[in-house]
Chain A
Amino acid sequence: MKDTQYFAPETLNDALKLLGKYEKGISVLAGGTDLVRNMNLEFRIPSNVLWIGHLGLDYVRSTEGLIHIGGATRMQTAGASKLLERKATALWQAASKLASPPVRSLATIGGNVCNASPAADTAIALLALGAEVVLVSRRGRRTVPLARFFLGPGKTVRRPDELLLEILVKPTGKGEGSAYAKVGRRQALTLAVLNAAARVKVDAKGKCVSATIAVGAAAPIPVHAVKAEAALVGLPFTEDNLLKAAERAVTETKPIDDVHGTAWYRRKLTRVLVARCLRQAGGLPEKAE
């Protein structure tokens, strides 16, 4: 076996050159909570490692009416962001509860999205927020809606020479909110048995103007529950209507039995968590479930 080479470029240009040169033969290291874990436990040693910690990609900022989240933004940074807390609440909730404080000081949102776990906390929140990802390579840059980013567990449309530069989120405006909910086997340091997120806009008359719903750990990729959304948009935003939408979401998932939970339980949770997110995002009171 050839010795592993380690690169820590100081500029984006140098990083993209390396990605272009090695393509599949180079692994991007952002936080390391997946990559280094796999090196430790599964002896999956990359031939080349590209650390992106020097590229200045750990940021959350607002420009031209959009929230820009750097590809290497750590959960800790996102959890401390007042901007996300107010304008992209679902993502803030997902990031600030993920795993544990020592993991949150390492793990990045870009890594969470690119590793494409169907249960990825921040990916579910971002999907519900209608986020887009910006991919760059030496060939140029392209913007992909997150709803078209995931192909399967660990598989995305990111090409081997591309780097996830940043994530774009439209901040929630007047009459609009978002929320994230997760059930794990314990409170912390746990994978979601099921997670969900929603973004809802309600007009002055109490009508649902728009809704985006995402469900995680219920299919090979994060589920964008479009039928549930259609069941809600245009109707009065009431407890009855949101429950119908949540029931609809159950039909859009394909959960399996695994060590974390059963398909049956995941279907039950889908209804409960989608409803919970919708209530919170749309400003309706909590209900005993």
Chain B
Amino acid sequence: MAKTTITFKLNGKRVQVEAPVTTNLLSLLREHLQVTGPKFGCEQGNCGACTVLLDGEPVNSCLVLAPTVEGREVTTVEGIGTPEKPHPIQAAFHDRYGAQCGFCTPGMVVSAYALLRKNPHPSREDVVNAIVGNVCRCTGYNKIVESVLAAAEKMR
């Protein structure tokens, strides 16, 4: 397979990685860079488990061809906070049972983060519209929406 070298900023740090040109960003992160926050779900942009920020905007990393991130900036859930120093959104998901099995959580946190950066005063509807691309099969969404609203309040 023809490989290419891709250089980009990942969670604030410059990384350089070699991968086949047909790799998608999700595989690049998980299999080539061992960044496993973004999850492998549907591979067609329907589930949102692989959501990351590309140049500050939420995208389905499975739909991004890896070479196109050359010179750009990618943020995964790992770049938002750590277990030792969780972001208020992550803390709220923990405190308010916003996560059950946890598979959708990294994507949910990234989508919520993108929303709160743009809109610090979201209504319930704003939160719902921000996470419509993230499917959760456990929570019924209420706990997730409550977590995001609580985080928004804490961050203000």
Contact = CB atoms under 8 A, between A and B. Distances in A.
A3 B63 contact: no
Main secondary structure of the interface of B (DSSP, over half): mixed
A36 B59 CA distance: 13
11 contacts: A3-B2, A4-B20, A6-B21, A32-B63, A36-B24, A40-B44, A99-B45, A102-B59, A103-B133, A106-B63, A189-B132
B68 A29 contact: yes
B7 to A, nearest CB: 13
B132 A101 contact: yes
Interface stretch (B46-54, B73-81, B85-93): B46-54
Nearest to B55: A105
Interface of A: 3-6, 8, 29, 31-33, 35-37, 39-41, 45, 49, 51, 53, 76, 99-103, 105-106, 187-189
Contact of A100 (B2, B43, B57, B133): B133
B35 interface: no
B21 A5 contact: yes
A50 to B, nearest CB: 11
Contact of A188 (B4, B111, B133): B133
B132 A37 contact: no
Interface in B26-69: 43-46, 48, 51, 54, 57-60, 62-65, 67-68
Contacts of A39: 22, 24, 65
Contact of B68 (A3, A53, A101): A53
A6 B19 CA distance: 12
A3 B1 contact: yes
Contacts of A187: 132
Contact of B70 (A3, A8, A36): A8
Contact of A40 (B43, B58, B67, B129): B43
Contacts of A5: 2, 21
Given A41-B43, A105-B59, A49 B133 contact: no
Contacts, number: 96
B150 interface: no
Given A4-B2, A6-B21, A103 B45 contact: yes
Contact of A29 (B20, B65, B130): B65
Contact of A101 (B20, B22, B58, B63): B58
Given A39-B65, A189-B132, 14 more contacts: A4-B20, A6-B21, A6-B65, A6-B67, A8-B70, A36-B24, A36-B63, A36-B65, A37-B45, A101-B111, A101-B132, A102-B45, A106-B59, A189-B46
Contact of A103 (B20, B63, B130): B63
Interface string B93-129: 0000000000000000001001000000000000001
Contacts of B4: 6
B21 A4 contact: yes
Contacts of B57: 76, 105
B43 A102 contact: no
A51 to B, nearest CB: 5
Contact of B22 (A45, A99, A106): A45
B24 A40 contact: yes
B65 A51 contact: yes
Nearest to B27: A40
